[in-house]
Amino acid sequence: GDINGNLVPERKENGGVRADGDKVDLAEQSLLNKLIRRSLVRNRNQVEVLQRDPTSPLYSVKTFEELRLKPELLKGVYNMGFNRPSRIQENALPMMLAQPPQNLIAQSQSGTGKTAAFSLAMLSHVNPENEWTQCLCIAPTYELALQIGQVIEQMGKFYPDVKLAYAIRGNRLGRGVKLQEQIVIGTPGTVLDWCTKYKLIDPKKITMFVLDEADVMIATQGHRDQSIRIHRQLTKNCQMLLFSATFEDSVWRFAEQVVPEPNIIRLKREEETLDTIKQFYVFCREKEDKFTALCNLYGSLTIAQAMIFCQTRKMASWLASSLTVEGHQVALLSGEMTVEQRASVIERFRNGKEKVLVTTNVCSRGIDVEQVSLVVNFDLPVDFDGNADNETYLHRIGRTGRFGRRGFAVNMVDSKHSMDVINQIEMHFNRRITKLDTTNLEEIE
Ligand code: ADP
């Protein structure tokens, strides 16, 4: 089995703080997604294309050859193991490479090939003989900018004439000299400084502007305004490309400001469903009781891997060490870990090094692990007011069609209030959650 690491982003404006007290950092979640991803996220939905000029023919490509790329670039693409364009690339690539240039707003969940698409577009766009910056790409954080840069460097491996510079904090250059790198990627603050204060880049010579992770960008203080100020320096002839994983109204309003007369490409994420999940609840008195129930459950089932959700870091670490004492090999994901540490925990779990993953909600929303057949809500997902958090419940245990195999979800109920929460969840999804007796587990298998 394989994991298709794709965190369901928590897209509340300005990040938001969850009931478990961990601040949700959109940029961190996005970086974690990138670090744990190995391949394209499959998505069987139709791509929606809205053309600026509906009368012009709609080009889509099924092969990279059709794009008539420079041989150096085609070689780079194949060298990355890409055989054919992804769903959104089929439409986005011909649009981005078209002459005369066209603007594009593209939205699809992370892992569907956006970064690879605009990286290829930038590499294909520049003229390596011109030793000035022609493509400008901005991303919400230093780490995300580096991730994009790595893709460009890998893809451009056989095209060494094209050079790349990082406009990120700490990267200081002399005032007034002009950069010779054709592609600059960076964060909005530093890019703005390089364009205006230090004049390392002449914004009038930029002919392709890429704004990645627009939803994360506008959730970060100051980035929205800096992006707009960069945008204002550019000329009318500059091709504008904007990418986002989600598209609520605020992103849309921002996109319209930055991308005039856009073509629009959207790929809706595959809906998660509870149809292939058997849902249960177990009555327990307190956490020790829950722990016993969990051990009974785990001991009597033939389970590939299990994920256990706790509400707080404290509970998660207590549970992880209690399970370890019982002889289980346990992985723990916790809010105080760095993104890199979390990525490596997920990687180990994905490779089956541990069979149990204990986590708080924040660090692991929507990690789809194909071989996870048991999800335990050690604490039920609730919002600030203590009501059922249906969305989080669905993200924890729901599966998309591609993971059609059956799974179990077991909810630990420890009070009248949490029984109410179970009832709310039942009503919301209109699916039965059956009482389970962990001392008699015949009904479950
Ligand atoms: P996004 O920017 O939408 O999150 P990425 O461009 O990072 O998506 O692509 C997600 C993963 O899929 C990466 O590991 C990338 O290398 C891979 N990928 C991208 N395009 C293709 C393709 N056409 N064929 C195979 N793998 C691809």
Q: Which atom of ligand 1 is nearest to the CA of 40?
A: 12
As given in the structure block, the two tokens for residue 276 are 């292939």
Of 40, 88, 109, 143, the residue with max ligand 1 atoms within 8 A of its CB, to mutate for a pocket test, comes to 40
More confident residue, 18 or 127: 127
Contact 114 CB / ligand 1 (< 6 Å) = yes
Mean predicted confidence (pLDDT) in 409-432: 95
Contact between residue 293 and residue 282 where contact means Cβ atoms under 8 Å apart = yes
**Closest alpha carbon to 244 in 210, 199, 286, 221:** 210
Residue 273 per-residue DSSP state: B
pLDDT band at residue 232, thresholds of 50, 70 and 90? very high
- CA dist 312 and 305 (Å) reads 22
Contact 110 CB / ligand 1 (< 6 Å) = yes
Ligand 1 centre from 112 Cα, in Å? 6
User: 141-159, pLDDT tens digit by residue?
Assistant: 999 999 999 999 999 999 9
Contact between residue 276 and residue 405 where contact means Cβ atoms under 8 Å apart = yes
- CA dist 300 and 136 (Å) reads 57
Q: Which atom of ligand 1 is nearest to the CA of 147?
A: 7
249 burial class (0-12, 13-18, 19+ CB within 10 angstroms)? exposed
Residue 389 CA to its chain's centroid (Å): 21
Residue 359 per-residue DSSP state: E
ipTM of the complex: 0.99
Ligand 1 centre from 337 Cα, in Å? 26
User: Left (φ > 0), alpha (ψ -120 to 50) or beta: where does 199 sit?
Assistant: left
- CA dist 70 and 76 (Å) reads 10
Q: Which pLDDT value is given to residue 3? A: 40
Q: Which atom of ligand 1 is nearest to the CA of 151?
A: 16
More confident residue, 197 or 36: 197
Q: Which atom of ligand 1 is nearest to the CA of 89?
A: 23
Contact 29 CB / ligand 1 (< 6 Å) = no
Residue 262 CA to its chain's centroid (Å): 24
Q: Which of 28-32, 192-196, 368-372 has the lowest mean pLDDT?
A: 368-372
pLDDT band at residue 443, thresholds of 50, 70 and 90? low
Q: Which of 3-7, 70-74, 80-84, 422-426 has the lowest mean pLDDT?
A: 3-7
Ligand 1 centre from 12 Cα, in Å? 25
Contact 43 CB / ligand 1 (< 6 Å) = no
Q: Which pLDDT value is given to residue 445? A: 57
User: 364-420, pLDDT tens digit by residue?
Assistant: 655 666 678 889 999 999 988 999 999 889 888 877 655 556 788 999 999 999 999
Q: Is the previous residue joined to 100 through a cis bond, with omega within 30 degrees of 0? A: yes
Ranges assigned E (strand) in 300-390: 305-310, 330-333, 356-360, 368-369, 372-377
Q: Which pLDDT value is given to residue 404? A: 58
Contact 216 CB / ligand 1 (< 6 Å) = no
In the chain, the percentage of residues whose pLDDT exceeds 90 is 63
Whether residue 35 is predicted with pLDDT greater than 90 in this model: the reply is no
- CA dist 61 and 89 (Å) reads 8
Residues contacting residue 399 through CB under 8 Å, at least 6 positions apart: 272, 273, 276, 277, 368, 407
Instruction: Return mean pLDDT, the chain.
Output: 88
Q: Name the residue with the closest Cα to ligand 1, atom 5.
A: 113
Q: Which atom of ligand 1 is nearest to the CA of 88?
A: 3
Q: Which pLDDT value is given to residue 364? A: 60
Q: Which pLDDT value is given to residue 8? A: 40
Tell me the whole-structure pTM to 2 decimals: 0.88
Contact between residue 339 and residue 32 where contact means Cβ atoms under 8 Å apart = yes
Q: Which pLDDT value is given to residue 365? A: 59
**Closest alpha carbon to 136 in 229, 61, 35:** 229
Contact 338 CB / ligand 1 (< 6 Å) = no
Contact between residue 362 and residue 18 where contact means Cβ atoms under 8 Å apart = yes
As given in the structure block, the two tokens for residue 196 are 């205006």
Contact between residue 158 and residue 112 where contact means Cβ atoms under 8 Å apart = no
Q: Which pLDDT value is given to residue 444? A: 61
Of 26, 41, 86, 185, the residue with max ligand 1 atoms within 8 A of its CB, to mutate for a pocket test, comes to 86
Ligand 1 centre from 135 Cα, in Å? 21
Q: Name the residue with the closest Cα to ligand 1, atom 19.
A: 113
- CA dist 178 and 133 (Å) reads 9
Q: Which pLDDT value is given to residue 134? A: 98
Q: Which atom of ligand 1 is nearest to the CA of 108?
A: 3
Angle subtended at Cα 359 by Cα 353 and Cα 365, rounded to the nearest 5 degrees:
105
Angstrom distances, CA of residue 393 to CA of 31, 172, 196 = 23, 46, 47
Contact 149 CB / ligand 1 (< 6 Å) = no
Q: Which atom of ligand 1 is nearest to the CA of 119?
A: 6
Ligand 1 centre from 185 Cα, in Å? 19
Contact 112 CB / ligand 1 (< 6 Å) = yes
Contact 147 CB / ligand 1 (< 6 Å) = no
Whether residue 188 is predicted with pLDDT greater than 60 in this model: the reply is yes
- CA dist 294 and 282 (Å) reads 9
User: 45-96, pLDDT tens digit by residue?
Assistant: 999 999 998 888 888 999 999 999 999 999 999 999 999 999 999 999 999 9
Whether residue 17 is predicted with pLDDT greater than 60 in this model: the reply is no
Residue type, 237: N
Q: Which pLDDT value is given to residue 19? A: 44
337 burial class (0-12, 13-18, 19+ CB within 10 angstroms)? middle
Contact 123 CB / ligand 1 (< 6 Å) = no
Helix 188-195 / helix 223-233 crossing angle, nearest 10 deg: 30
Q: Which of 159-163, 222-226, 273-277 has the lowest mean pLDDT?
A: 273-277
Q: Which pLDDT value is given to residue 437? A: 81
Mean predicted confidence (pLDDT) in 111-137: 97
Whether residue 227 is predicted with pLDDT greater than 90 in this model: the reply is yes
CA pseudo-torsion sign 331, 337, 341, 347: positive
Q: Which pLDDT value is given to residue 395? A: 84
In the numeric block, the tokens 């092969």 are attached to 63
Whether residue 6 is predicted with pLDDT greater than 50 in this model: the reply is no
Contact 318 CB / ligand 1 (< 6 Å) = no
Q: Which pLDDT value is given to residue 384? A: 87
Residue type, 24: V
